[in-house]
Structure 1
Amino acid sequence: MKKALLLILSIVLMAGMFSSAALAQDSVSVMAVWGGQELDAFMKMVEPFEKATGIEVQYEGTRDLPTLVTTRLEAGNPPDIVALTGVGMMKQLAEEGDLVNLSNVLDMDRMNKEYSQTWIDLGTYNEDLYGMYISADVKSLVWYNPKEFAAKGYEVPETWDELKALQEEMIANGDTPWSIGLESGAASGWPGTDWIEDIMLRTTDPEVYDQWVNHEIPWTDARVKRAFEIFGEIAKDPEYTYGAPTAVLATNFGDAPNALFTDPPQAMMHRQASFITSFIRDNNPGLVAGEDYDFFPFPEIDEEYGTPVLGAASMFGMMNDTSAARAFMRYVSTAGAQSIFVSELGKLGVNKNINPNVYPDDLTRQMAAMLREAPTFRFDGSDSMPGAVGSGAFWQGILDYVSGQDLDGVLEYIESISQDTYNQ
């Protein structure tokens, strides 16, 4: 694939996608949170670009990206390209004039043909494009070991009542239903926000979810509190979670699914996004997708709301308008570049021209179809909120709640931060 893409890039170079000025500039800096397998996939994606253009991609990784970006902006030294943590960060930087309008960088006729309107809209602020997506994740997934399910006679649940019955059956058999990990360095707490968001989408209208994300209803609203309580019934109960809340708080999110594959298993289910497959494969070599690990949709809770799909995506923004940065953005918007990235990970393509055969297995193709066919789709809520709320108070609130703090106090704290942030 790399050789073929290199040939395509050479042709594109001659066609003028990358200007001679871009080739004269020898580097482009990219800041993101990626490490491990994600970083490896990114470097494989940019390798053909570097060979074809002579432009070196200088990567800078950080777990606390919003803080580092702010520091670099204050110092007058922002990266050329930033992998934005979500819609909220994109809108904030665009509003402050720190992002380049990509409508003047990318061929928008091509973008409108190769991207669905959803992804264009999600990257748009005040009618201009500031965020360009390169991959997506489905978050509404529960992972399990199908061999263990079959051996113990466990059936995949489709409703919350069936899930609750399954949990009780597991406990009666001496099994622990769930493995949950909230630790993620400076980003600790975010896996719990995904639980809240999925539950919100299954217990109220999508429009109410949107109101919550936009702070048009308070965090102390009964519907938000109910979502936290449903999550707490699992995450705070030592019978339901491996290692009890202490382990939930201390376990890294990437290590949490390992409990499903010990002998005997330490837990039977793990709720996490599609990208977790790369961690499963990396930590448990030899496991076969669809045989040793599989997923089912996060079950419906209230029948009238069904099973909406919660998702997130990797999005690039451009902070310095240089010829090399323009060349980089044009390259990563292509199906060829994104095919390399998603083929290395359990991520899903955004460009419509990506061939499904690039996915590593049928399981990933099923997730891509789930994203494509979702009757209701909503973007990750915490990623869509301003950083002080979504990646600040919300993340911290999850940790405080699981550690035993009073829920009303937790929600009042997040609400106070939200009032200060949204009213600025």
Structure 2
Amino acid sequence: MRTLKRPFPILMALGLMLAACTSASPSGSAGGSPGASADISGKEVSVIGTWTDAEETAFRAMVKPWEDQTGATVKYQGTRAINDILAAGIPTGVLPDLAGLPGPAQMQEYVQAGALKPLDNVLDVATYSSETSAALVDLGKVQEKTYGVFIKASVKGLIWYNPTLHDYSASPPGSFDDLMSQAKANQGSAKALWCLGIESGAASGWPATDWIEEILLHQAGPDVYNDWWAGKVKWTDPAIKKAFTTFMDDVVANTFGGGTNAVAANFQVAGDPLFTSPPGCELFHQASFITGLGKFPNEKAGTDYNAFPFPTFDTKYATAVEGAGDLFGMFHDTAAAKSLMAYLVTAPAQDIWVKIGGALSANKNATEVFDASDQMPTDMNAAFWSHMVTLTSGKETIDAALSALQKVADDAYAA
């Protein structure tokens, strides 16, 4: 596995994403020709992904031109239990044609199990590689063969706020200490500094892992971050404990409704208190895709909400950015499945979602590092999610959580 190494123009990407939120919905024309070489009219492609609600609507809009032009249909299932479904399907062979993959680490496991099909003869790999960040292309490869492709990207570590309390657009906080002091000074009628929601069904806890990842990246830097997800830095290392302590002391302790509310609040609507009167919170941390969820689609970008990049703890890491993306793979290489996969990576297809809002095209988006938990072994990833729930709720201490996570790591990275 390889992390993403090129700098990402986060302010430019954020500006483009906010502009997309205010644009009109697409007409439904993909502007391209998603036809297949074989007649696939009447065929069905089964797809499983994590997208539900507004994200599912956007995905269905994305595939509609392909359905119209080929006569084939997409049977989509949105679920947050995708890890469990795919893990159960690998040994039985009961798998969808296409699926959103939990992450690069899981993709490698599926390849080793002989379940994923290579895409080198499915896609125009030269075109895909030229139109997509080289780092993202590499993350979809195993032993130089392409098994996964990114169809949607997001910038992580964005701090969303309600400008009616204070407008940070002219001068965003330069450091995390500045952020905390300015937020307390500008809190006004807001009931708390932060909104936080980490409920996500079978994947509950992942929004809190994003917090840890952002804090660690900006406190300790990309090298420690990369060594950590790769199992080379222990969970009990002082740098890791410092990140967890910052999260608990500065975020959870200042969260709307406290930790018990955070573990009960679904991540899709966790930022909604930004828009109540009086606001439930002043700030909300989430990736760029949040603009397509909760109350965000009903509010006006730049007027009712805005965002700035995660501030650093150390100026050496001021340009560090975490990104993520939706990695797709193919389990059954039917003619219809191959046609849909080839269509999904095209710029016209991805542009549909971008115009609806809540997504950035995977084309030419490069970030400093990729989501850490997505690159951890499956057992490690699941344990990280789980312990963030018990820690945030106050049912576990930091030391106990880190000790337990290291025990999981000892086995997960030895396998």
Cα deviation, residue 265, structure 1: 1.0
1:418 and 2:381 aligned: no
Compute the TM-score of the two structures, normalised by the length of structure 1: 0.87
CA contact (8 A) 1:83 1:315 kept: yes
1:4, distance to aligned residue in structure 2 (A): 4.1
Aligned equivalent of 2:289: 275
One-letter identity of the residue aligned with 1:206: P
What is the one-letter code of the residue matched to 1:204?
A
| Residue 207 of structure 1, CA deviation | 1.6
Distance 1:218 1:82, change over 3 A: same
2:282 maps to amino acid: M
Residue 310 of structure 2 is aligned to residue 305 of structure 1: no
CA contact 2:218–2:318 (8 Å) conserved in 1: yes
1:70 pairs, out of 79, 87, 101, with 87
**How many pairs were matched up?**
389
Structure 1 residues 24 and 277: CA distance shift in structure 2, 3 A: closer
Give me the whole-angstrom Cα distance separating, in 1, the residues matched to 2:96 and 2:221.
39
Partner of 2:218: 202
CA distance in 1, matches of 2:277, 2:189: 16
Deviations for 1:258-297, whole angstroms, at most 9, x for unmatched residues? Answer: 11111111110001000111125xx266421011100011
Encode CA deviations 1:186-244: one digit per residue, 9 max, x unaligned. Answer: 1111100001111111111312111111101111111111111111112331xx11111
What is aligned with 2:341? 329
Identity of aligned residues (%): 38
Distance 1:3 1:195 in 2: 36
Shift of 1:169: 2.2
Distance 1:153 1:41, change over 3 A: closer
TM (norm. structure 2) is 0.88
User: C-alpha root-mean-square deviation of aligned residues, in Å?
Assistant: 2.2
For 1:407 and 1:5, the matched residues in 2 are separated by 49
Can you give the 5+ residue segments of structure 2 that lack an aligned partner in the other structure?
Answer: 1-25
**Matches of residues 2-401 of structure 1 in structure 2 within 5 Å?**
4-5=29-30, 8-9=32-33, 13=35, 18-20=36-38, 22-23=39-40, 26-150=43-167, 156-170=172-186, 175-237=191-253, 240-280=254-294, 283=295, 286-352=298-364, 377-390=368-381, 392-401=382-391
For residues 258 and 186 of structure 2, the distance between their equivalents in structure 1, rounded to whole angstroms, comes to 16
RCO higher in structure (CA 8 A, sep ≥6): 2
Residues 243, 307 of structure 1: CA spacing in aligned structure 2 closer, same or farther, 3 A cutoff? farther
Conservation of the 8 A alpha-carbon contact between 2:191 and 2:278: no
Q: Using a 3 Å threshold, how does the CA distance of structure 1 residues 161 and 337 change in structure 2: closer, same or farther?
A: same
| Distance 1:222-1:258 versus aligned 2 partners, 3 A rule | same
Amino acid at match of 1:19: S
Report the 3-state secondary structure (helix = DSSP H, G, I; strand = E; otherwise coil) of the residue aligned with 1:256: coil
Unaligned runs of 5+ in 1: 353-370
Partner of 1:362: none
Q: Aligned partner of 1:210: which letter?
A: N
Task: Give the counterpart letter for 1:338 in structure 2.
Answer: Q
Offset of 1:313 from its aligned partner?
0.5
User: CA 1:418/1:306 → structure 2, altered by over 3 Å: closer, same or farther?
Assistant: same
Secondary structure of the residue aligned to 1:316 is strand
CA shift at 1:37, angstroms? 0.8
Q: What one-letter code is carried by the residue in structure 2 that aligns with 1:278?
A: G
Q: Note if contact 2:183-2:282 (Cα within 8 Å) is conserved in structure 1.
A: no
Distance 2:109 2:93 in 1: 17
Tell me which amino acid in the other structure corresponds to 2:410: Q
SS at match of 1:267: coil
- Give 1:173 deviation, angstroms: 7.2
Cα–Cα, structure 1 residues 285 and 113, in superposed 2: closer, same or farther, change >3 Å?
A: closer
Equivalent residue of 1:165, what SS?
Answer: helix
Q: Retained in 2: the 8 A contact 1:235–1:248?
A: no
* 8 A contact 2:291–2:297 mirrored in 1: no
Relative to its length, the structure with more helix (as a share) is: 1
SS of the equivalent of 2:227 reads helix
Which piece of structure 1 moves more, 167-176 or 25-34?
167-176
